[in-house]
Every structure is written in structure tokens, then in C-alpha cells.
Structure 1
Amino acid sequence: MNSGVVKSEKSINLEKVRVTAEQYYRNGDFYCSEAVVKVIKDEFELDITDEIISMASGFPVGIGGSGCTCGAITGGIMALGLFFGRSEAKDEKVNKAMELSKELHDFFKGKNNSLCCRILTKGMTLGTKEHIDQCILFTGQVAEETARIISRELNYKLK
């Protein structure tokens, strides 16, 4: 991991991760990408400031509202990078970050048939209950799967 310290012998409650991420979105505290980064940072007790959440602020609604890649998945990939990404040039850790990011991508695409926000929300009006409920679901799915991948890679127990 590049920054922050993870406590050893940690166990992670995946349901709590999912529910907390969904709550952040449902309550209007954070958008999808921000909620995923925040819950991973908090649940894994990373010793980094909440400024990391601000890095995820441009991704909601398919990257700044453009309807491209789902913000939840970009938040999950950012969170994976916190643990498995590189911070030094030519560090081979990038291979692990890319491998795990593809795993998260494939999970989401397999479950939802697309990563494109425009396709995922086709026929929905932005901000309606239907749209919000779907985004809450995606936020929870991604947060839970991201936590599962991180826990597996760090040999953490799951609750």
C-alpha cells in the first residue's frame, strides 16, 4: 500500500461496507464514487486524510455528468489503487492494481451488462427515484466487492 497504515488481523464486515456506502448516497452526503472511496478509507482504517475523497468528486454521473463510465466503479478502482497502486516510477505494483481493477470491472459488467452510465440509466430521468435507487444499488455493489477484493488480497477475515 502506498499511503496509510492498515491494522493487521483485521476483519471486514462486507454487509456494513455495502450498507454504509448506500447510506452515504441515499442521504445525499456523497455521490457514488465519493461514497465508495470514503467507506473503504474508513472501514479499512487508512491513515490518510479525507482529502482523498475529493479526488473522487469528478466521477459521478459517468465522469462529471457526461454519462460515460459509472462513478461507482471509478471510485472502486481508486480505492484499489490506494492499496495496490504505485507511487514510484516504473514500480511493478501497477500490474497488481491493473489486475484487480479488471477484476472489479468484470464483476460489475457481468452483474449489470455495462459500465456506461448512459446505458445503465437509459430511459431514466436524472434525479428521479428510479435513477437514485439504481445508483444506490450500484454504489453498494461496488463498495462491497471492492472490500471483498482488498480483504482477500490482504488475507483479512470477513464478517
Structure 2
Amino acid sequence: MAGKPSPDYAALKARVQELTQRVWDLPAIKARYSRLAQEGIPRKTLHRDEIIAHKQEILERVQKRAEEYEFLSHSCAKGSALALMEEFGLGNMEIAKALSPFPGFGMTGWICGAVTGGLIALGLYFGSDDILDYEGTGRTMTAARTFIPRFEEAMGSILCPKIQEEVIFGRYMDPRASRENFDAFVRAGGYEKCALPPGVAARLAAQVIIESLESVNCEQPKATTRGSRPKPGCR
């Protein structure tokens, strides 16, 4: 039986280099973030057909914004989640605050925070306000079981140290282990380079959401606001 496909490490490393050399428009990024912080995540009316028609544009936008929010916040978890929340009108800024300890799973060397942020957004989109809605819980699990393997296939791992070693730095920097490690991480362009995983995660999670729209024939109005409960995929 064939093994798992190997990531395109050359393309990933080229992307890391591109992020290192990017001229980040910090005033514009900060202004956009400040609006979210002051006004909250804007509620949206999501038009199924419009989203499907603009799929590639949406994927490009969430990827870039996840990279930008990681660079601004110094958090891969916040980067991926916030880009998706903004795009699809999900959640609130308290969720971004709650994601503070999740990069590297509390910087313990476990799951990449970009994956966690993506999962949070998928939970907000596919889940239910009712904790007894087991079907809603099941939808989130289905989405997660699609998203996580795709991230692993794209990046080679879902673990922070493996991604740092094989894609980003060539070794595990472990920036919270000591002041020396942290300073080395910053000098190596850590916040620029670590924008890669949240960009990938946000794009893949958005793809899962859009695929759910593509796969469902809706028998009700296709334009709905967040907070209403259309059938799954008809949002």
C-alpha cells in the first residue's frame, strides 16, 4: 500500500523565504485588527452561490490575512482563527483571547496552534449553540477529520517541532525554553516565518467550509445571517 504523499518541502521553504522578505503593511493590518477589537467580528449574510463563485478569492484572502494576523499578534493560533472568523462572520474577540496559550499547545512541543485555530473556526461554523445537539457535534468531527489530515499532508506534520525542523528553521527553536532561545527565534525571523502554518491552516479550513456548501442542494433561501440555523452547508 502506498504511503502518505510527501509535502512539497521545496515550495514550502520558498514560501517561508517569501514571508521573510515580505514588506508587511503594519499600519493597514493594525487598522483592520483595531476595527475588529473595537467593533467585534461583523455578522455576515453568507450567500452560498456567491461564496462558491468567489472561492479562490476567499481562499487567497483568508490565507494572507492569517499570515498577517500571526505576524501582528505573534500567535499562529490567533492568526488562523481570526482570519476565518472575520471572513465567515464567526464568534467574537473573546475567542481570540482564549487562544493565547495554544501555539505549540502551550509551547510544549505538541500540536501547532495554526491547527487549533482552524479547528476553533470549524467548530464555530459547523457546531451548534445547543450542547445536546449531537448531530451538530458530529458535523464538527467530520470537518476536523477532513481538515487535520489535509494540514498534515500539506505541512508534513501537525506538531510544532516537526514543522519548525522540517519546513521553517531546520531545527526546533523552542523559543519559550529560555531567553536565549527566544532571542534566537526573533533573530531568525520567527514571527515572519511562522506565518506560514496559519496561512495554510486558514486556507484549508475555508476550503472545508466551502466544500460543504458545494456538496449540498439547498431547499431554502440561500442567503442567511450568522446565528440562524439553516441546514448544514446552506448558510
TM-score, normalization by structure 2:
0.57
Tell me, what secondary structure is at the counterpart of 2:105?
coil
* Aligned twin of 1:153: 212
1:40 equivalent to 2:40? Answer no
Listed as ranges, the gaps of 5+ residues in structure 2 are 1-41, 166-170, 176-184, 215-221, 223-235
Tell me, what secondary structure is at the counterpart of 1:8?
strand
Q: Deviations over 1:42-96 (max 9, x none)?
A: 11133x4311211211211x11111100100010001000011233234221111
Q: Deviations over 1:90-146 (max 9, x none)?
A: 422111100111111100111122111122223142324364444211110001111
Which amino acid is 2:45 matched to?
A: K
Tell me, what secondary structure is at the counterpart of 2:106?
coil
> Distance in 1 between the 2:162 and 2:204 partners?
21
Shift of 1:5: 5.4
Structure possessing the higher radius of gyration over alpha carbons = 2
How many residues matched?
150
Give the alignment partner of residue 79 of structure 1, picking from 118, 121, 134.
121
Q: Which of the two has greater helix per residue?
A: 2
> Distance in 2 between the 1:63 and 1:133 partners?
20
**1:108–1:115 CA contact under 8 A, matched in 2:** yes
Which amino acid is 2:46 matched to?
A: S
**1:21–1:36 CA contact under 8 A, matched in 2:** yes
> Distance in 1 between the 2:114 and 2:159 partners?
11
TM-score, normalization by structure 1:
0.82
> Distance in 2 between the 1:89 and 1:17 partners?
29
> Distance in 1 between the 2:210 and 2:99 partners?
22
Tell me, what secondary structure is at the counterpart of 1:73?
helix
Give the alignment partner of residue 70 of structure 2, picking from 9, 19, 25.
25
Which amino acid is 1:80 matched to?
A: L
Shift of 1:30: 4.5
> Distance in 2 between the 1:112 and 1:38 partners?
20
**1:114–1:120 CA contact under 8 A, matched in 2:** yes
Bigger relative CO (Cα 8 Å, ≥ 6 apart): 1
